[in-house]
Amino acid sequence: MLLIELDRQIGDGDHGANMDKGFTAAVAKLEAGAETVQDVLKVVAQTLMSTVGGAAGPLYGTAFLRASKALGDDTEVDAAGVAALIGGALEGIVARGKATTGEKTMVDAWTPALAAAQAVAEAGGSATEALYAASKAALEGAEATIPMQATKGRASYLGERSIGHQDPGATSTAYLLAAAADASGIA
């Protein structure tokens, strides 16, 4: 699994396994039912916080929780709603992790994802188009972490040795958004 390999290079190698464990648990909990998009996001948030180890659990849990709040009472998610969800997630990650762009973290993927989703919303595109644009921008953001030196998280302990490696959290962000885009295209 790519996430495990990326995390072995600059972390402790458990990011992919932790993400798999957390989302497998979230899917199991969601099979019991969730009535609204907000309910789904809250269940995922709580499950990730309780099952995913390291920094990823609290960061992604906070992201999903803030995304649910950003959506408000909306029952339908359009492109503007996608941008709001991504914006809420990014806000939560920044608040929890105290990171900004250029520090070789998942923020480097969420930030361009938000800009891409906002651009689609402003152009009158669909939610699916916003998610696909966001996932593409997130992947580009993840790839842009390769030449960066990590200044936050476990990878920061490596100093200059973190240069030349793609950030696993930024990569999992791109995967999450791509999975959301693929799922939205089914409906």
Chain centroid to CA 95: 14
Residue span of the structural domain in which 92 resides: 2-186
Q: In whole angstroms, what is the distance from residue 57 CA to residue 161 CA?
A: 25
pLDDT the model gives residue 185: 74
- pTM given for the model: 0.94
- For position 187, what pLDDT does the model report? 44
How much is the pLDDT for 21? 95
Task: List the chain residues with pLDDT less than 50.
Answer: 187
* Contact present, 107 and 100 (Cβ < 8 Å): yes
Instruction: For residue 169, give every residue at least 6 positions away whose Cβ sits within 8 Å of its Cβ, in sequence order, or none.
Output: 15, 55, 56, 59, 105, 106, 109, 153
Q: How many domains does the structure of the chain reveal? A: 1
User: The domain spanning residue 165 has which CATH number?
Assistant: 1.25.40.340
Q: What is the pLDDT of residue 154?
A: 86
| Structural contact between residues 110 and 93, judged by C-beta atoms closer than 8 angstroms | yes
